[in-house]
Amino acid sequence: MPPKPPKAKAKVKPQEEHREDSLQAVVLADSYETRFRPFSLERPKCLLPLANTPLIEYTLEFLAHVGVEDIFIYCGAHSDQVEEYVNASKWRLPTTPFKNLLLLKSDATSTGDAMRDLDNRDLIKGDFLLVSGDIVSTMAIEPALAHHRARRDKDKNAIMTMILREAGLHHKAKFTSHKPVFVLDPTRDRCLHYEEIRSSAGQTRHITLEPDILSRHPEIEVREDLIDCHIDICTPDVLGLWSDNFDYQSIRTSFLFGVLKDYELNGKTIHTHIMTDGYAARVRSLKAYDAISKDLTGRWTYPLCPDSNHVPGHHYRYHNNGTYQENGITTGKSFQVKGRCVLGQGTAIGEGVTVSESFLGRKCQVGNDALIEASYLWDSVVVGDNTIIRHAIIAQGAVIGKGCTIESGAMISYDVRISDNTTISGSKKITRSSLANNAIARRTKPPISDEESQNDENISDSDDHSDASKASDRIFQNSQASVSDVSVSTLQSDESGYEQIEDRSRRASFVSQTSDEAAPNKDFHVEATASILDGLQKDDLPENINLELTAFRMTVDASQHEIRRAVVAAFMKRIASLEAGGTGTLEAVHRVLSRYRLVVERSLFDKETREKPDQVDFMLCVQRELLSRGNGESLLLFVAKEAYDLELIEEDGILQWWPDIRSRHGDMASIRGLTERFITFLQEAEEDDDESEGDEDDA
Amino acid sequence: MPARMPLPHDFQALILCGPGVSFNTFTSTPEDFPKALIPVANRPMIWYPLDWCRRANITRITLITPTTSCKAIEDALSRNPHLTSPELPRPDVLAPSGLSQNTGTAEILRLPDVQTIITGHFLILPCDLLCDLPGERLLETWMIHAAGMVGSSAAAGGLGVWYPTKSELAVKGEETNFLTTAQLPHATVPSSPESLRPNLSEVVYSSTTDTLNDITESQKSFPVRHGLLRKHGKIRMLTTTRDAHIYLFPYWTLDFINQNPKFDSISEDVVGWWAKATWQDGLVPKLGLEQIFNPPSSQAKGNSDANQSHNEIDQDIDITSMSTTHISNLLTPPPTPQSPSSSTNTKSPKPKTAIPPFLCYLHPTSSSISSSSSSSPPQQQTLIRRVDTTPLLLTLSLHLASLASPSPLATKQKIHPTTTIAPRTTISASDVLIGANTTVNQFTTIKNSVVGANCVIGPNVRLTRCVIMDDVEVGERCQLTGCVVGWRSKVGKGCKLGEGSEVAPGYAVEEGVEGAGELLGGFEGLEEDVGSGEEEEEEDQDMEGDDTAADDA
C-alpha cells in the first residue's frame, strides 16, 4: 500500500498551503469622511497624534501583534505625507515584522472605490484583514481567524467575518451619532441584518426586520452593544462583490447591508466574531478621540500605553503623580498637574500653571499662570500667560496669546495665531487653510466635549444644507472678531485637493451626474434594484414591476436618472444570472429587454424631442454598469443593438450617446471597442437616411 | 448544596383548570370529563401540577375551574387514587360565578371571588403542566432576582417560564410564543452551578407567534423601536419558544390587571404590556402604573386593600443595603453639570417611575446544556412542557412512560401488579405503562405505549407508540400505531389504525377499519354511536398469565 499515503498528502497539501499563506492586511488610511476637519484639511487623519503618537502607529502595531506580514496601506488625501511618514518609520527598518509594506495611492473618493481599485490590482492572494487606519486595539484575532477558516472550508459562501467587541451600553468610545445595530443568528454567528441608528431628528424610530429573518431563524439577537472598529477578515470574493456592485460606497451601510439583502440572490453569508476581552476602539470622531486618549493614559489599552514608547525616539515614563513625561521638561514654580496627563519632550511650563487631564506634545510653551484643562495641545504649541484652555484641541504650531480664553469644544488648527485677550467660543474651528472657507461653511464640526456631542447633528456627515446658514455664523472667518493672523488665500495650489474632499462626502463615483442627488436617496438604488430584480426573477408582468417602481419612486422622490440606473442595474444582473444559468448572452439580452421593454420605455421621456438626454443617460448607465463585467464589451454591443432593434433607443439616441464625453472618458472607454462597428454602421445608415430625406425634400 | 432559602409560608398557587380548546376530542363534555382530568401516562393531568407544588412545598393551592366542571374535579379529588394519595396537598376548588369555559386568563384574576382569595404574592400554574424543574428553585430565583434582593428596594418584579419547542420532543404544530428578552446585568458574584441565573433574562416583549405573523403580514416587516435598543443593547428574539404559563406575580399585579380592564390573557396582555412598560416610558401612565407605584396621595392608598399594606411591610425592607457584596456602577456616565442640553432634557420627566422587571427563565435545550457544561455527568434533561393537544399528549405520555425512577415524573411500577398478562406476549418493560386490572392476551406485542386501567387487549394485537386510556377494549388482531384511544371506547377486530389516529371517548370502532391520521367518532359526529359497533366480548380471559412482563431484549 505504499502509494496511498502520498496521494492523501497531495490531496491535503493545497489546502494546507493555502493556510500557510501569510496573512495579508489592507489598511484604509483615509476614512473618506470629514469628521476631523479642520485638522484633516492639512494633514491626513491617520497622522494626527493620539496621545502624542500618530494614529496609524496604533493600527500597524495591532497588525504586527496579530501576525500580519503583508500590508497594503491605502492612502487617500495627503498621500505624500503618509508616504513620507511611513518610509521614515520603524516599519521600514530591517527589524520590521512585515515582509511587505506597500503604500497604494489612488484617487479613490470612497471606500468602495478603493476596494474596486484593489480588486483591479490583483494583489490579494488569499484571505485578508481589512482594517481602517484609525483603530486602537489589543484584541487577539486568532480565534476569529480559526473560526473564519473553518467556516470558509465548509462553505465557500461565508465570505467575511467581522470582529466586534462587546461593550456596555454606555461605553465612552462608542460612536454616538451612528449607532450600528447588528441582527445576528447567534447559533451560527451569522449576521442577518445591519442598520444604523442615526440620532438626527426626522429619522424613523424603528429598525425594521424582514419577516423572513424572524420566520427562518428561531433565535435571533438584535445588538446595539457592540463596538465595531471595522476589523474584517475577508475572502478574496469580497473584492469581487465590491466590483460587481459599482454603487457600493461604504463598508457597512452599503456593502454589508447590500450583501445581506442580496442573500437570496447570491447566497453569500457574513459572519461575526464577538470578542469579550481586549481593547478595541476606532478613532472615528473627535468624541472618540477624546475618550480613547483617556483610555490610553488610563492604561485600559495596555500594552498600548504612552510609556510603551512604540515609536522610536519616544521615551515616556510613567510618574507617580499619574503623568507620562519625557525627559527635558522644564516647569516653573508651583506648577500643578492633576489627573492623567501626557507631557512631551522639551515642553516648558511657566509658573503657577495648572494642567489637568491634558495632553501636551513636544516643545510646547505654556506661559505663567495658565490653566489647561482636558485639552489636547499638539507639538510646538505656544500658550501665553494667564490663558485658560478648556476641552479644546490645539494643533501643531498654533500660538495662543496672553490672557485668552479658549472655551470648551474649540478647535484651533495648524499654525493659527490667536491675539492676546481673545475669547474663542466653544463652537469655533479656526484654520489658516483656505480650503476651509467653503468646506466648513457647509457643515459644522463636532466639538469634542462629551456633552456637546450628545447633540448629534454636529457629527453628522451627511449634506445637511439647512445647516449651512446656522453653521456659517459659527465660522470663525465670518465672525471676524478676534483673529490676528488668519490668512485666507494661501495654498492656492491645493484648490484641486479641495474639490476632491468635497466630493468625498457625497457619493462620489459618478461625479458628473450624481452630485446633485440628495443624501436620503442613498439607498434607493440598492432597494429599487433589488425590487426590480425580484420582479424579473419571478417573471412578473412588466406592468407590475413598473407600478411598483413608480410607487417606490414617489415615496423616495427619486429622480428619473436614478430610476434608469436601478432599471439598468437590475436588468444587467438578470442577464448575468441567465447567462450563468446557461442561456446564451444574446438570447439573455433579448429575453430580458423584449419582455420588459415597457419598464425601460416608461423611464425615457424624450421620444418626441430632438435632443435625447434620457436615452443617452440610459446608455451611459448601461455602459457604466458593464464596466466591471468580464464580457462587458460584447454585452454593451448586444444591449445597444437589442435596444435599437426594439426601438427603445432611437438612432439619434445612440448617436448622441456615442460621442458624449462621459462615454468616452476614462474607464468608460475601455469597453467601447466592439460597439464601434455598430455605431459606424448606424452612422452610415443615418447618412443614407439624411440623403434620402434630402431627396424627398427636394422632390 | 447551598442552604435553601426559607420560602414565605403563605405563598399560594392558583392552578387554572381551563377548558382545553385544542383538545376537543377529549374535552367535549367538560361537565363529566374536564381537561384537568384527562389521563397523561395513566395519571390525571391535574396530578402533575399538584405534585410539582408538593415537591416545592407549596401547600396553599387553589384550583380555579368553571362551575360546569367543578363537580367532576371535586369528585376526582376525593376518589381518584392518584389524587387522594396522602402526601399530595389538598387543594381548594374555587368555581367563581362569573367564570365560563372561555374566560380569558387575565379576566379570571379580575373576578372578585378570585381577588378575595389572593392575599400576597402568588403563583399561577396551568393544569396541563409537566415540569420536573424543582419549583423551589424557581421561587428562590424569583426572590433573589425579582423580589427586591438584588437591585433597588423597589416593588417586586415577576417571573415567567418559557421553554423551547424545537427540542428532542418536538411536536409539529405546537403553539409557540414570540418572546424578546434582554440580558440581565452581569452577576455581582459568580452564581452557583445549579443556579438558574444563566438562563434568566428580562422580558421586553411577549406575544404569540400568531400576533407576530399578523404584524409582519400587515407591515411587511417587524419594527423594533430604537428606544428598546437604547435601553437594552442586546436583545434576543425567540420565535419557537413557548410560554409554560408558570408565573410568579407580586401582589401589585392584581392592581395592574384591575387598572386595565382590556387585558384578556395573562401571557399576551399582562406580561406583554408589563414587559413593554419597563422600557417604553410613555406606557407607564397609560397603563396606570404610576398610580400603583407612586400613589398620588394618601387617599388613594386608602382604596387599596388592607391586605396589601400588610404585605408591604416586609417588602419595604431594603435588603440590598444589608448585603456585604457591592458592585460599583462603572457603566453609567458621570453627570456633566455644565452641559446645557442635558439639563433641559432632564427637567421634564425626572420623577420617572421605575417599573420592576418581568424576568424570564428560559429552559435550556439539551444541546445547549451539553455544550455549556460538558464536564458534568450526563444528567437527566429536566422537562418543562404543556400538554394541550392530542399529539402532545401522545408524545409526552410516551416520554413519561420511558422515564426511569430518579425523575419525579416517572411511574414507580410501570406495569401495575393487578395486571393480567397472558403468556407469549411481548411487552417492552422499560417504556410501557399498564394500569390496574388490565388484561393483555396472548401473542400480543406492546411497545412504547401507555395502556390505562381496566382495559382488555385482545390476542394478536400489536400496539406501538399508542396511548390507550382507561376501560378500553381492543379487539383481536388489531394493529395500532401512534394512536390515542379515548376512555371507554372499543376498537373492533382487525382494525389497522396508523399514525395520528384518534378514537373519541366512548366510541366503538367497527371491525376491520383501516386508516391513519383520522379522528374516529369526534364530537362533531353523531352524538352516541355506540350501538353501531358489534359488542366484542372479552373472549380469552386466561387469567394465568405471568405477573411480570415477558421482555424482549
Kindly list the structural domains of chain A, giving each domain's residue range(s) and its CATH number in brackets, ordered by start: 21-286 (3.90.550.10), 317-433+473-503 (2.160.10.10), 522-693 (1.25.40.180)
Chain A CB contacts of B225 under 8 Å are: 205-206
Handedness of CA B59, B65, B69, B70 (dihedral sign): positive
Query: What pLDDT, in 10s, does the model give residues B93-122?
Result: 988 888 877 788 888 888 888 888 888 888
What residue type is assigned to position B364 of the chain?
P
Mean pLDDT, range B263-276, rounded to an integer: 89
Higher pLDDT, B314 or B221: B221
Task: Name B326's Cβ contacts closer than 8 Å, sequence gap at least 6.
Answer: B188
Judge whether residue B466 has pLDDT over 90: yes
State the nearest Cα–Cα gap between B230 and chain A, in angstroms.
Answer: 8
Helix axes A675-698 and A632-645, enclosed angle (nearest 10): 30
Mean pLDDT, range B540-549, rounded to an integer: 36
Chain A CB contacts of B164 under 8 Å are: 218
Measured CA to CA, the distance from residue B401 to residue B385 in angstroms comes to 15
State the nearest Cα–Cα gap between B111 and chain A, in angstroms.
Answer: 37
**Could you tell me if B232 lies within 8 Å of chain A, comparing CB atoms?**
yes
Lowest mean pLDDT across A116-125, A181-190, A678-687, B130-139: A678-687
- pLDDT at position B374 is 39
- pLDDT at position B473 is 92
* Residue in A179, A181, A219 closest to B236 by CB: A219
Higher pLDDT, A443 or A560: A560
Lowest mean pLDDT across A284-293, A438-447, B274-283: A438-447
Q: Assess contact for A519 and A463: CB atoms under 8 A.
A: yes
Judge whether residue A26 has pLDDT over 80: yes
State the nearest Cα–Cα gap between B476 and chain A, in angstroms.
Answer: 46
Higher pLDDT, A523 or A634: A634
- pLDDT at position A566 is 84
- pLDDT > 70 in chain B, percent: 76
- pLDDT at position A175 is 55
Interchain proximity A197–B229, CB inside 8 Å = yes
- pLDDT at position A200 is 60
Measured CA to CA, the distance from residue A159 to residue A268 in angstroms comes to 7
State the nearest Cα–Cα gap between A515 and chain B, in angstroms.
Answer: 31
Half-sphere exposure at residue A110, Cβ-oriented, CA atoms within 13 angstroms:
23
Higher pLDDT, A240 or A697: A240
* Residue in A207, A209, A223 closest to B233 by CB: A223
Handedness of CA A644, A647, A648, A651 (dihedral sign): positive
Query: What pLDDT, in 10s, does the model give residues A248-279?
Result: 888 888 899 888 888 888 888 999 999 888 88
Element (H, E) at B338: none
State the nearest Cα–Cα gap between A524 and chain B, in angstroms.
Answer: 18
Judge whether residue B139 has pLDDT over 50: yes
* Residue in A209, A408, A451 closest to B224 by CB: A209
The whole-chain average pLDDT of chain A stands at 76
The whole-chain average pLDDT of chain B stands at 77
Interchain proximity B224–A168, CB inside 8 Å = no
- pLDDT > 70 in chain A, percent: 80
Task: Name B237's Cβ contacts closer than 8 Å, sequence gap at least 6.
Answer: A214, A219, A220, A221, A222, B178, B179, B180
Interchain proximity B239–A219, CB inside 8 Å = yes
Interface test with B, best of A165, A166, A169 (most B CBs within 10 A): A169
Interchain proximity B341–A454, CB inside 8 Å = yes
- pLDDT at position B380 is 55
Mean pLDDT, range A106-124, rounded to an integer: 85
Chain A CB contacts of B239 under 8 Å are: 214-215, 217-219
Identify the closest residue of chain B to A181 by CA–CA distance: B229
Judge whether residue A663 has pLDDT over 90: no
Chain A CB contacts of B367 under 8 Å are: none
- Phi then psi for A69, rounded to 5 degrees? -115, -30
Helix axes A524-537 and A542-556, enclosed angle (nearest 10): 170
* Residue in B216, B227, B331 closest to A169 by CB: B331
Judge whether residue B30 has pLDDT over 90: no
Interchain proximity B237–A168, CB inside 8 Å = no
- pLDDT at position B531 is 37
C-alpha grid cell for residue A58?
A: 496604533
Judge whether residue A470 has pLDDT over 50: no
Judge whether residue B291 has pLDDT over 90: no
Residue B279 C-alpha from the chain's centroid: 27
- pLDDT at position A479 is 32
Judge whether residue A480 has pLDDT over 60: no
Measured CA to CA, the distance from residue A423 to residue A421 in angstroms comes to 7
Element (H, E) at B280: none
Interchain proximity A214–B226, CB inside 8 Å = no
- pLDDT range class, residue A694, cuts 50, 70, 90: very low
Chain B CB contacts of A207 under 8 Å are: 223-224, 226, 229
State the nearest Cα–Cα gap between B333 and chain A, in angstroms.
Answer: 7
**Could you tell me if B377 lies within 8 Å of chain A, comparing CB atoms?**
no
Q: Assess contact for B438 and B449: CB atoms under 8 A.
A: no
DSSP letter for B198, please.
Answer: G
- pLDDT at position A603 is 78
Closest-CA residue to A99 (of A28, A149, A27, A25):
A25
Measured CA to CA, the distance from residue B403 to residue B77 in angstroms comes to 26
Q: State yes or no: ipTM above 0.90.
A: no
Interface test with B, best of A178, A213, A220, A224 (most B CBs within 10 A): A224
State the DSSP string of B103-163: --HHHHHHSHHHHHH--SSEEEEETTEEE-S-HHHHHHHIIIIISSSSS-S----EEEEEE
- pLDDT at position A172 is 56
Residue A154 C-alpha from the chain's centroid: 31
Query: What pLDDT, in 10s, does the model give residues A287-309?
Result: 888 888 988 888 888 888 888 88
- pLDDT range class, residue B310, cuts 50, 70, 90: very low
Interchain proximity A217–B336, CB inside 8 Å = no
Judge whether residue B341 has pLDDT over 70: no
- pLDDT at position A671 is 79
Q: Are strands B43-44 and B39-40 parallel, antiparallel or unpaired?
A: antiparallel
Task: Name B11's Cβ contacts closer than 8 Å, sequence gap at least 6.
Answer: B58, B60, B120, B121, B122, B123, B139
- pLDDT range class, residue B350, cuts 50, 70, 90: very low
pTM: 0.70
Handedness of CA A186, A187, A191, A195 (dihedral sign): negative
Query: What pLDDT, in 10s, does the model give residues A327-347?
Result: 888 888 888 888 889 999 999
Measured CA to CA, the distance from residue B396 to residue B385 in angstroms comes to 8
Query: What pLDDT, in 10s, does the model give residues A125-180?
Result: 888 999 988 899 888 888 999 999 999 999 888 999 999 988 765 565 555 667 88
